[in-house]
Amino acid sequence: MNVFRLAGDLSHLLAIIILLLKIWKTRSCAGISGRSQILFALVYTTRYLDLFTNFISLYNSVMKVFFISTSCATIYLMYVKFKATYDHNHDTFRIGFLLIPVTILGLLINHDFTPLEVLWTFSIYLESVAILPQLFMVSKTGDAETITSHYLFCLGLYRALYIFNWIYRYYFEGFYDLIAIVAGVVQTVLYCDFFYLYVTRVIKGKALKLPA
């Protein structure tokens, strides 16, 4: 565990707390892509199956359980409790376009052709693109609530911090995982446009409106 890794995990944790608080306090999931949330739930459930096979640390297990349970809770809030506020007209990204290639890639390029490893790899690839329905939704409506943009910023920052963690681990532990690194870089690059808008607008107290 290094400082980048810890900061990344905390940023990830904060993103999820912001999202749940936004939905709970405003009693609304307007502006949130249910499709991205389904993909994230799929990411966590397929990656953290190792909870049942090997124990790493209490920190590790607690975080994994947290990510799985909060992603299921988010889906419950969006599709059951606050269903009426779900903006499905703007949430139209076809997730099959992501799921099919990611499944094929997971089957072809993995560390080990075993169910657990293929699912782990699938999860890494899927996570890198899971935000696309959400970014598509923001670009379609042309804006995002400030709280939603804080959520997106923390979620994007988490993987960017992991890149520094991987650089650190490469130099100090001689460890690197090419699958995670390539997917993590792709994931971070997808947020770049959003990061630019966040820094130039939201930080200065303006709403996140996309240029026409």
Partner 1 sequence: GEALMRHDEL
Q: Which residues bind partner 1 (CB under 8 A)?
A: 5, 9, 12, 50, 54, 56-57, 60, 63-64, 67, 111-112, 117, 120, 162, 165, 173, 175, 177, 180
Nearer to partner 1 by Cβ, of 112 and 193: the residue is: 112
Nearer to partner 1 among residue 149 and residue 188 (C-beta): 188
Least gap, CB of 180 to partner 1 (angstroms): 7
Comparing CB distances to partner 1, the nearer of 123 and 149 is: 123
Residue 142's region, left for phi above 0, alpha for psi from -120 to 50, else beta, is left
Of 56 and 100, which has the nearer Cβ to partner 1? 56
Residue 91 one-letter amino acid: D
For the bound state, the minimum distance from the C-beta of residue 59 to partner 1, rounded and expressed in Å, comes to 9
Q: Kind and range of the H or E element at 61? A: helix 58-76
Task: In whole angstroms, give the CA distance from residue 195 to residue 11.
Answer: 15
Bridge partners, 208 (sequence order):
144
Report in angstroms how near the CB of residue 4 gets to partner 1 at its nearest.
Answer: 11
Angle between helices 115-129 and 34-47 (to 10 degrees): 150
User: What minimum distance in Å lies between the beta carbon of 125 and partner 1?
Assistant: 14
**DSSP string for 47-59:** HGGGGTT----HH
Check if the beta carbon of residue 201 is closer than 8 Å to that of residue 207. yes
For 150-180, the three-class secondary structure string (H helix, E strand, C coil) is HHHHHHHHHHHHHHHHHHHHHHHHCCCCHHH
Q: How far is the CB of 198 from partner 1 (least distance, A)?
A: 23
Measured from the CB atom, the residue of 9 and 91 that comes closer to partner 1 is 9
